[in-house]
Amino acid sequence: MSITENYYTIKNKLPENVQLVAVSKTHPVSSIQEVYELGQKVFGENKVQELLEKYPLLPKDIQWHLIGHLQTNKVKYIAEFIDTIQSVDSEKLLAEINKEAAKHNRSIKILLQVKIAAEDSKFGLEINEAKNLFQKYISGNFPHIEITGLMGMATFTDDEDQVKKEFLILKKVFDELNQLKKLETLSMGMSDDFPTAIECGANSVRVGSAIFGRRDYSK
């Protein structure tokens, strides 16, 4: 199927209240432009360098989400234009984003990335760290960021019960924090598990290969 057909297939599977972040990493600007012209405005990249190469070549009303691990020393390169940083996994990074956003006199939306997968290779905050950081944010420590929600990745497995269990853990944390201060976004689910994620309460999904095709890392 073509990228356009893939895009419509995915869109048709998403309830109206679920945001689609089209994950375009490793795919060319021409493919992003194609999906943009179908009406998609929100795209996700996981590497700062790649984002910086693509950003100047594409329409300025694209809302870019950074979804990959971010080093503090790279925040300054994206602070002027990034819409949302989904992968905030330390207080140090949060503080740096706040500082760089201040320089541009703006506010940057962020999601706290929480570790929910059983496998321990993934980045993310422990649940208690996420709660503590959210408390500090509520106390007003970071005026140039807005924590709009949480992001999580489930274990890479065919065991749907396991995946569901992990997504539900994050949904519970989301509900808890949402009581303290209103949150908008629960970002869970990728090409293989987004229907499960939505079942478990996700209202934003990050879909790459199911739209753009498989990634070829050899190029």
Ligand X SMILES: *Cc1c(COP(=O)(O)O)cnc(C)c1O
State which H helix or E strand residue 75 sits in: helix 75-78
The CA–CA distances, whole Å, from 71 to 59, 78, 88 equal 26, 12, 10
Nearer to ligand X, 112 or 190 (CB): 190
- Among 150, 170, 210, 186, which residue's Cα sits nearest to residue 10? 210
Residue 46 C-beta: closest distance to ligand X, Å? 4
Does 65 bind ligand X (CB under 6 A)? Our answer is no
> Alpha-carbon distance 69 to 93, whole Å?
10
Does 67 bind ligand X (CB under 6 A)? Our answer is yes
User: Is 68:45 a contact under the CB 8 Å cutoff?
Assistant: yes
Nearer to ligand X, 98 or 187 (CB): 187
Task: Enumerate residues 6+ apart whose C-beta is below 8 A from 34.
Answer: 3, 4
Angle between helices 127-138 and 160-180 (to 10 degrees): 20
Does 207 bind ligand X (CB under 6 A)? Our answer is yes
Does 157 bind ligand X (CB under 6 A)? Our answer is no
Does 191 bind ligand X (CB under 6 A)? Our answer is yes
Interacting residue with ligand X among 6, 46, 84, 98 (CB under 6 A): 46
Nearer to ligand X, 72 or 191 (CB): 191
Does 209 bind ligand X (CB under 6 A)? Our answer is yes
Q: For residue 17, what are its two tokens? A: 């209240």
Q: For residue 155, what are its two tokens? A: 């274990």
Task: Scan residues 102-141 and list those touching ligand X (CB under 6 A).
Answer: none
Q: What is the b/e burial string over 134-155, where b = at least 16 CB atoms within 10 angstroms of the residue's CB?
A: beebeeeebebbebbbbbbbbe
Give the contact letters, 8-37, x = binds to ligand X (CB under 6 A), - = no: ---------------x-x------------
Number of residues near ligand X (by CB under 6 A): 14
Q: Which stretch binds ligand X (CB under 6 A): 95-103, 116-124, 133-141, 207-215?
A: 207-215
Does 186 bind ligand X (CB under 6 A)? Our answer is no
Residues within the interface to ligand X (CB under 6 A): 23, 25, 46, 67-68, 153, 190-192, 206-210
